[in-house]
A and B are shown apart, each in its own frame.
Chain A
Amino acid sequence: MPDTPGPDLSTIFAGGIRSPNPFWLASAPPTNCGEQVMRAFDAGWGGAVWKTIGEPITNVSSRYSSIDWNGQRMMGLNNIELISDRPIETNLREIADVKKRYPKHAVIASLMVESTREAWHDIVQRSEGAGADGLELNFGCPHGMSERGMGSAVGQVPEYTEMITGWVKEKARTPVLVKLTPNITDIRQIARAAKRAGADGLSAINTINSITGIDLDTFEPRPNVDGLSSHGGYCGPAVKPIALNMVHQLQNDDASRLPISGIGGIGTWRDAAEFILLGCGTVQVCTAAMHYGYRVVEDMIDGLQNWMREKGFASIDDFRGLSAPKITDWNHLNLNFKIVARIHAEKCIGCELCYIACWDGAHQCIHLDSEHSTPPAIEAASRARIAVTPIPKLDRAIESHGLASRASNGRVPHVDEDECVGCNLCALVCPVDGCISMERVENHLPRKTWEDLVNGTPHS
C-alpha cells in the first residue's frame, strides 16, 4: 500500500449533503431499518437513502423475480414490493438514532405521501426533525403506489411533479432530490419541472417497468402471487446502459441540469466511475448489495481509489463530468474516421466466431483459408472429411494427424480490410481479450460530419 493518503472520496452533494464517499445505498430493502443501515455504514457505505417512508402499506408474498444469463444469476432483478410497511414514527425514530451514532454519514429520507400540500409539509418537517440530511421525493415507483396516485403517477406528469416539489420546497431546509422514473418518453420533461420548482438535485433512474418471464410449465408469470403476477420494476446490471443514457440526457440539457445521484445497475467501482464521468455527484446501489451483501462496497472504495491514484485524480470532482462532452449527436460524428479489424494470430484460439458473425451479421469481409467461400460449404466440407481416433500403434506409419498441428493457426481468419466497415462486431464476439483490435486507418481525409454535408461545407 502506498504511504500517501488515498485520493479523497468525500462528497458534498446538491449543496449540502456530506458523505465520506459517493457510495450510497438506494432506497430499497437494504435500507429498510436502522439496524441494517448501521451495519451498512460499518461496512463502508457513505450514505443511505431510507426505504421510502409513507403511510404503511401491505406487501404481497413473492416479490422478486430475476433474469439469469448464461449461467449467471440475476443479470436483471424485478420487484413488486411497495414502500416501507413500517409505521412512519418507527422509521423516523430509527433515522434519528442512526444520525446520532453516525453523524458523518448521509441519511436521506425517501418520501411518498398522498398528493396534498398538508401531507407533504407534515412529512418534510418530521423527516428533517428526525435529522435527515436530505429528502428524496419518490416520484418513480412504477407499481402499486402509482395505482393510488403516487410514485410514477406523479413522476410521469410534469405539472404534478412541479406542484409537489414546490410544496416540499416551501418547507424543506435540507436539499431536495427528485427521483425520476425512466418509464416516460422523455425524462427531461420531468427533470425540467423539478428544476422549475426549485429541486436541489435529481436521482436517476428508478426501476424500469418489466415482466421478467413466464413459467413454461405452469404458464404463470414471475413473481407468482397465487397464480397471478403484476408488472414490476427492473434493475440490476442489465439496466446500466439505459441509466447512463438518461443521466447523460439530463446533464446535456440546460433546463434539466442539476446535481445527479446516479442509479441503475451500479455494482462495481467501474460502474460508479462511469456514472461520475458523465457528471454524477454520488451513486446509489441496490441490486449488488441485495445479491452479495453490504460487503461489496469495500472493493468499490478500494477499486475507485486505486484507479484515481493511477489516473492522478485527488478528488471526485477531478474527474466528475469528464466524459460528458464526449457524447454528442450523431450529426457531429466524423464520417471520415476509418477503423478496420486486425486479428492477432498469436492470440487466436480458432473459434471462428468472428467469421460467422461477419458473414451472417455484418459485411462478409472476414475469410478463412478454405477453398469454399460460404459458411455452409465450409461446414459441409468438414463433415465430409473422415476422422478417426488416433491410435499410436496403428498410426505409426501414417503421417501424424495430431490435433495440435491441425489447430495451430490453421483456423485463424483474416480480414479483407478494403471491405471492412469497422463495425466492431468481430471484436465484440471474440472471446479472447486483445485478439481482435480495431485500428485506425490513416486516410488523410479531413474531418467531415453529416451536419457539414447538409450545410454544404466546402471540405469535400
Chain B
Amino acid sequence: MGAAVPFGFQDNAEVARRFPDLHPAFDSNEALTEANRCLYCFDAPCAAACPTHIDVPRFIKKIATQNLMGSALAILDANVLGASCSRVCPVEVLCEGACVMLRYNKQAIAIGRLQRHSMDYFLDRGGRLPRKSTAKRSQNIVCIGAGPASLACAAELAQKGFGVTVIERRPLPGGLNTYGVAEYKLRPPDSLHEVAMIAELGVEFRFGVSIEDESDLAALERQYDAIFMGIGLGAMHELRIPGAEHAHIIDALEFIARYKTASNLSVGNNVVVIGAGNTAIDAAIAARRLGAAHVTIVYRRTERDISAFGFEYEHAKQEGVVFEWMAQPVAIHSGSLECSRMGSTFQLPCDMVIPAIGQTPLPLLERCHGPKYYSGGDCTNGGREVVDAVADGKRAALAIAKSFKAEHA
C-alpha cells in the first residue's frame, strides 16, 4: 500500500516486518490455476456456509476468465467487507470447510486467498463501491460503533441512497478489524482502506464520540429515523486474583490494539496468557513475534475444551507457544505467576500477564427501546466472526429500508 493511509493512520514498518502475511497473496498465475480447480458447484455448499452468502463459484469463475473487476464486484455485492473477510475469516470452518473437494480426498479450493486476489486487484485500482439506487432517500440513519456490523449496515443503506452517520468512540474506524485482528492476517492500513471505500459513498464518520446513557440515546432518537447498534462487546473480564493490580498485567485486546495502532511494541521476556480462545492465541503469537522468549498459555481445562479453532491452536504451537492444561492462576508475584493444578501449586516465571478470558456484554443495549432500534454483530451474537457481523449489519440495513417502505405504504 502507498504512504497515504486513510484516517491519518501512521504505519509502522517494524510491525510490518515482524508480522508478515500468514497466507501470502497469490500471483496471477497461481490464482488462475487455483480458480480453475473449482468445480463450479450448483447451489454451492461454500456459498451456503458463508454467513454473507458470497456467490463463491461465481467470483472464482470470473478469476478464471480474468474478469477480476467483475469478480470483486460479485464479492462486494454480498459482502462489503470482502477484503478483510478474505483475510480474517476462519475459512476452514466456513466456505473451505464446506468445499466438496474435501469429500474427494482433495484439498479444498483456496477460497479465502482467491477472494483476497480479487479484492486486492479492486483496491489497488481504487475501485469504488457501486450504488444500488440512484434515488436520494429522505431518511437518516445512525450506526453506533464503526466496527464490521455498523460498516456493513452503513454501506448497504448508503448504497440505497439513505443518509448515514457512523459514530465511533475511538479515533479510527474498523473496530476489531483495525484494533483487534492478528497483524499477520490483516493490518490496520488494509482495514482503513476498506473503510475509506465506504466513506466515499457519503457515509459520515464522527470519531471520539461515546454514546453512554439514555440521554445520549434520546438525542439520537430525535435526530435520526433509525439507530443501528453495532457496539460490540465491552471490556475483557478482569483477572480477580491477588497481585492482579500489578502494572505488568494487560488484557489481550488492549495488548493487541497497542502494538497494532499505538506503535507500542514492548513485551515481557516471559509472558503468560490466560485463556485458550482465539484472542488468547492471537495475543500469545503476537508476544512471540514481538520478542518474548517464553510464551505460555494457561488454561483451566483440557486441550479438548479450548474454544480456539483447531488451526489457530496448531498455529500457536508452531510459533513456539507452550500450553499448561488444567492450570488455574491463583496469584501474581513479582516475576512469577502461581497456578494450581489438581490441588498442588506451581510457579511460572512471568514478567507479563495477558488475561484473555472473554469480554463482558455492554449494558447499553438493554436501554434501547422502540421501533427505531436495530442491532447486530458481537453485541447481539455473543462474539462471532467479522463475517457474522457483516451479515448481521446487512440484514439490519435491509430491515431498516423495508420499514421505511412500510411507513409510506
Contacts and interface: CB of A to CB of B under 8 A. Distances in A.
B388 interface: yes
B36 A375 contact: no
A406 B381 CA distance: 22
B64 interface: yes
B33 A351 contact: no
B42 A393 contact: no
B104 A431 contact: yes
Interface residues of A, number: 31
A407 B45 CA distance: 8
A382 B97 contact: no
A388 interface: yes
B43 A379 contact: yes
Interface in B80-128: 90, 93-94, 97-98, 100-101, 103-104
Interface stretch (B5-13, B48-56, B248-256, B318-326): B48-56
B47 A391 contact: no
A70 B64 contact: yes
Contacts of A375: 42-43
B274 to A, nearest CB: 16
B277 interface: yes
Contact of B48 (A349, A387, A389): A387
Interface string B350-368: 0000000000000000000
A352 B41 contact: yes
Interface string A64-81: 000000110000000000
B385 to A, nearest CB: 4
Contacts of A391: 307, 382-385
B382 A352 contact: no
B154 to A, nearest CB: 21
B36 A389 contact: no
B82 to A, nearest CB: 16
Interface in B152-202: none
Given A350-B103, A403-B97, A407-B98, A389 B53 contact: no
Contacts of A45: none
Contact of B100 (A350, A379, A386): A350
A375 B101 CA distance: 22
A70 B384 CA distance: 37
Contacts of A392: 307
Given A351-B39, A353-B39, A382-B43, A389 B100 contact: no
Interface in B245-265: none
A89 to B, nearest CB: 46
A355 B51 CA distance: 25
A99 B66 CA distance: 51
A382 B48 contact: yes
Interface in B23-37: 32-33, 36-37
B90 A389 contact: yes
B51 A378 contact: no
A394 B48 contact: no
B45 A403 contact: yes
Nearest to A216: B66
A351 B41 contact: yes
Contacts of B239: none
A382 B51 CA distance: 11
B42 A353 contact: yes
Interface residues of B, number: 36
Contacts of B101: 349
Contacts of B48: 382, 385, 387
A225 interface: no
Contacts of A71: 32-33, 36-37, 64
Contacts of A431: 39, 104
B384 A355 contact: no
B40 interface: yes
Contact of A390 (B33, B39, B93, B103): B93
A70 B277 CA distance: 41
A389 B94 contact: yes
Given A378-B43, A388-B51, A432 B36 contact: no
A403 to B, nearest CB: 5
Given A388-B381, A432-B104, A383 B53 contact: yes
B72 interface: no
Contacts of A390: 93
B36 A349 contact: no
A74 to B, nearest CB: 15
Task: Name the residue among A378, A388, A411 with the largest chain B CB count within 10 angstroms.
Answer: A388
A289 interface: no
Contacts of B40: 353
B387 interface: yes
B63 to A, nearest CB: 11
Contacts of B41: 350-353
Given A389-B94, A394-B381, A432-B104, 20 more contacts: A70-B36, A71-B36, A349-B101, A353-B40, A353-B41, A368-B43, A387-B53, A387-B391, A388-B384, A389-B51, A389-B93, A389-B384, A393-B307, A394-B382, A394-B384, A403-B45, A406-B45, A411-B45, A431-B39, A431-B104
Interface of B: 32-33, 36-37, 39-43, 45, 47-51, 53, 64, 90, 93-94, 97-98, 100-101, 103-104, 277, 307, 381-385, 387-388, 391
28 contacts: A71-B64, A349-B100, A350-B45, A350-B100, A351-B42, A352-B41, A353-B40, A353-B41, A353-B42, A382-B43, A382-B48, A382-B53, A383-B53, A386-B51, A387-B50, A387-B53, A388-B388, A389-B51, A389-B93, A389-B388, A391-B307, A391-B383, A394-B382, A394-B383, A403-B93, A403-B97, A431-B104, A432-B104
